[in-house]
Each structure stands twice: as C-alpha cells, then as structure tokens.
Amino acid sequence: MAEIDHSRVLASPKFRQLVTERTRFGWILSGVMLGIYLVFILLVAFAHGLMATKVGSGVTSLGIVLGLVVIVAAFVLTGIYVARANGRFDDLTRDLNRELGR
C-alpha cells in the first residue's frame, strides 16, 4: 500500500511542480547569500582601507557595519523563504493532498 502511495506522489505533476519551485527558490536564495558573503570576504581581504573607514565620530568601522549587514541579510533571506513556504509551497502541498485524496 505504501509503495502505491509513493509512486502516485512521485507521478503527480503537482508534486513535481512543488519540488521544482522549492528547489529553484532555495538555490536562488543560497546564491544570493553566498554572493553577499563572498563580496564581504573579498572586501575584508583586499580593501583594508575601505573597511577601516570610520563611521561617524565613534570607533565603529565600515567593516563592522558591513558585517552586521551580512548577518541581517541572512535573517531577511530566511524570512523571505519562510514567507514563500507558508504561502506558495503550502498551497501546492494542499493541492497535492487534494489530488491524492487525503
């Protein structure tokens, strides 16, 4: 019985659409985060003067601010994924369950 259900799910166009969309979106967000991180690391490695630039009249440098931007970007991208998962991906899952009679 479980094998029949398994093969029905794998054969479903809704399931393939869900997997394709979720995988593509995950790779896009991963690429964006990797790009942000790579730019930050390259700036740390090769733009010492720029990263050491003081922000305001305190002791905070641009490197610290950009490091915080990298961390915040990770949270924002996670929030974007969660919003998409709770919206589009849940809708596709609901449609798949209806199609399979669950």
Q: What was the pLDDT predicted at 71?
A: 98
Q: Residue written as tokens 């922000």?
A: 55
Q: What was the pLDDT predicted at 4?
A: 61
| Number of domains present in the structure of the chain | 1
Q: Confirm if 93 and 22 have CB atoms less than 8 A apart.
A: no
Question: Do the domain assignments include residue 22?
Answer: yes
Could you list the pLDDT tens digit for every one of the 102 residues in the chain?
Answer: 466 678 888 889 999 999 999 999 999 999 999 999 999 999 999 999 999 999 988 899 999 999 999 999 999 999 999 999 999 999 999 999 888 887
Q: Confirm if 63 and 52 have CB atoms less than 8 A apart.
A: yes
Q: Confirm if 99 and 14 have CB atoms less than 8 A apart.
A: yes
Which residues on neighbouring strands pair with residue 54, listed in sequence order?
61
Q: What was the pLDDT predicted at 99?
A: 87
Cβ contacts of 86 within 8 Å, gap of 6 or more: none
Structural domain for 75, as ranges: 14-98
- Tokens describing residue 59: 């002791």
Question: Do the domain assignments include residue 75?
Answer: yes
